[in-house]
Structure 1
Amino acid sequence: MSTTSAANPNGSIVIVGATGHLGRLVVEDLLDSGVDAGRIVATGRNTDKLADLAERGVKVRRLDFDDPETLDGAFSAGDRVLLVSGSDVGQRQRQHQGVIDAAVAAGVAQLAYTSGPKADTTPMILATDHRLTEEGIKASGVPATILRNGWYFENYTDQLGTYLEHGAILNSAGDARISAASRADFAAAAAAVLTGPVGDHVGRVYELGGDTAITLTDLAAAITAATGQTVVSANLPPAEHLAALVGAGVPEAFAGILVDVDQAAAAGALEVEGHALSTLIGRPTTSLADAVAAATTANT
């Protein structure tokens, strides 16, 4: 690992991707924890989405993965940077590499990256960009922390209306055990890594997941209990699951990714051992019942 500037206690904490759900929550956690707003730099493609943060004293800067000029001067020596992974599957490694290169050139004290569960070993399609990004970070020598975020409850609960409409959670995951946690849990972990002693986190790879693994049968039962409407887990063969998704209007390429996620989950890709997430955030992770209750409230 190359020698770079030490963290400056008054230096900036830069969130790359603050316009997304996770990045926004990280900014809010930093503010709630007492970090001076002037130390926080929130970046994104569309800074209009960050206008309210600017009004609260947060520095706002445009940063677009596909516009290299926006990376010029984005970081300074001693900064602590969170790279929230992009959403353009298949393009993310290229996009992320620009941030990595800019971080190295600036001499940041820490680059934290939100990766995926077991990114170095899982065959899951969605993990390919994460694995390649992790390799790029390692090769660069930048002082880094890898946050391998597990599955978000919101990946499921955001579909609550669909589940209730059809009375079923269509899947091909079988009895897969999934260490899900709320997006807020993962954001709190990122904030902790960005504000704790650099030496405690640089060089670390954290596999992060909920304290208690769930199955989709558990999810269906929780939805039934919270809403009073029966929802079941409808496990299908992969080919039938793919056909059902395409028939419902899901683009075939994305439908294939969803089926691949379920197949990987069935093979254990989304079950995370240990309690690194709850340790980082200093509290138990969000329970399934609480996640479903919050989604039910939001859906009514």
Structure 2
Amino acid sequence: MTILVTGASGHLGRLIVERLLARGAAASDVVAGARTPARAADLGVRVVELDYDRPETVAAALEGVDRVALVSSSEVGRRAAQHRAVIDAAVAAGVELLAYTSLFRAAESTHAVAPEHVETERLIAASGLPAVLLRNNWYNENQIGAVTLAAQTGQIVSSAGEGRIASAARADYADAAALVLLGDDQAGRVYELAGDVAWSQDELAAAAAEVLGRDVVHHAVTTQEHIALLEAAGLDVGTAGFVAAMDAGTAAGQLDSDDHTLSTLIGRPTTPLVDTLRAAV
């Protein structure tokens, strides 16, 4: 059984390859697809060129592949079209299973990043491919930038209000993906994956203070104040609005959860936020 991981030079794709090997997959059975193959050359598996924007490379990469991990593109606004290239190639190649890294509770989510995931899920369903959806909540690593900035400012600034985020480490989600890709009877399943412990922005500030060894406070602002601050920091109007909209989704409870599907699947507790921050900062 040959398993292809797309986006294998990125943070999540790389970890999925590593966890496949750790979970017992033979290196000869794992293929790493990357836009720039040299960036994935250290993974110890066969590396092929796979550029979401060049369908001919996608089709070539899927030749002889049985299962595919479609790792969501990082190019917001272009994801659905890029994912379509992989879905079409998977249909043509007759793959037996496609696993897509979607968004937590995508079907009912109003989060700013949800629409492209919903559209990708629709494309997968319409294709008739045997597929499994890995609906990932937020990554602990998403907070590293804010904590790094807090080392200088002593503040975590957000418009997320009291909204909680049930995040986990990328490695936790990668481990789940590896298990599903190596497992039996996965087609048709939908996994809502989240960290064991949800946290607020106040708790993020407390975790930042712990790892930085200095006082850090959460400075709560309104959505409009947040947009103004982001624009003042140099972001264009569209980007500032998008960032604030993501906080609005958090404030609305889109990323809150007490579900333990992820930890049950991987057989261990998910990685605490503070542990990820400590390792990074």
| TM-score range for the pair, normalised by the shorter chain length | over 0.9
Between the aligned partners of 2:170 and 2:208, the Cα distance in structure 1 is 19
Task: Summarize deviations over 1:33-67 as a string: whole Å, max 9, x none.
Answer: 221111110001111101222xx3x1110011111
Q: CA deviation at 1:227?
A: 2.2
Q: Which moved more, 1:22-31 or 1:249-258?
A: 249-258
Task: Summarize deviations over 1:163-220 as a string: whole Å, max 9, x none.
Answer: 11111111000110110111111111111111111x0x21011111101111111111
Query: Is it true that 1:267 corresponds to 2:252 in the alignment?
Result: yes
Query: Is it true that 1:179 corresponds to 2:166 in the alignment?
Result: yes
**Aligned position for 1:141:** 128
Between the aligned partners of 2:146 and 2:218, the Cα distance in structure 1 is 13
Between the aligned partners of 2:64 and 2:42, the Cα distance in structure 1 is 27
Task: Look up the SS of the partner of 1:18 in the other structure.
Answer: coil
Question: What code does the residue aligned with 1:247 have?
Answer: A
Question: What code does the residue aligned with 2:112 have?
Answer: I
Counterparts of 1:1-300 in structure 2, within 5 Å, are: 11-53=1-43, 56=44, 58-76=45-63, 79-197=66-184, 199=185, 201-296=186-281
Count of matched residue pairs: 281
Contact 2:40–2:47 (CA under 8 A) maintained in structure 1: yes
Task: Summarize deviations over 1:100-152 as a string: whole Å, max 9, x none.
Answer: 11111111111000011121111222111100000010111100010111001
Task: Look up the SS of the partner of 1:192 in the other structure.
Answer: helix
**CA spacing shift, 1:76–1:67, aligned 2, 3 Å:** closer
Contact 2:124–2:131 (CA under 8 A) maintained in structure 1: yes
Q: Name structure 2 gaps, 5 residues minimum.
A: none
Q: CA deviation at 1:78?
A: 6.3
Task: Look up the SS of the partner of 1:113 in the other structure.
Answer: strand
Aligned Cα root-mean-square deviation (Å) = 1.3
Q: CA deviation at 1:226?
A: 2.5
Contact 2:8–2:32 (CA under 8 A) maintained in structure 1: yes
Between the aligned partners of 2:259 and 2:207, the Cα distance in structure 1 is 24
* Identity value in percent: 49
Q: Name structure 1 gaps, 5 residues minimum.
A: 1-10
Question: What code does the residue aligned with 1:209 have?
Answer: A
TM-score by length of 2: 0.96
Q: CA deviation at 1:77?
A: 6.0
Between the aligned partners of 1:78 and 1:35, the Cα distance in structure 2 is 14
Between the aligned partners of 2:169 and 2:239, the Cα distance in structure 1 is 23
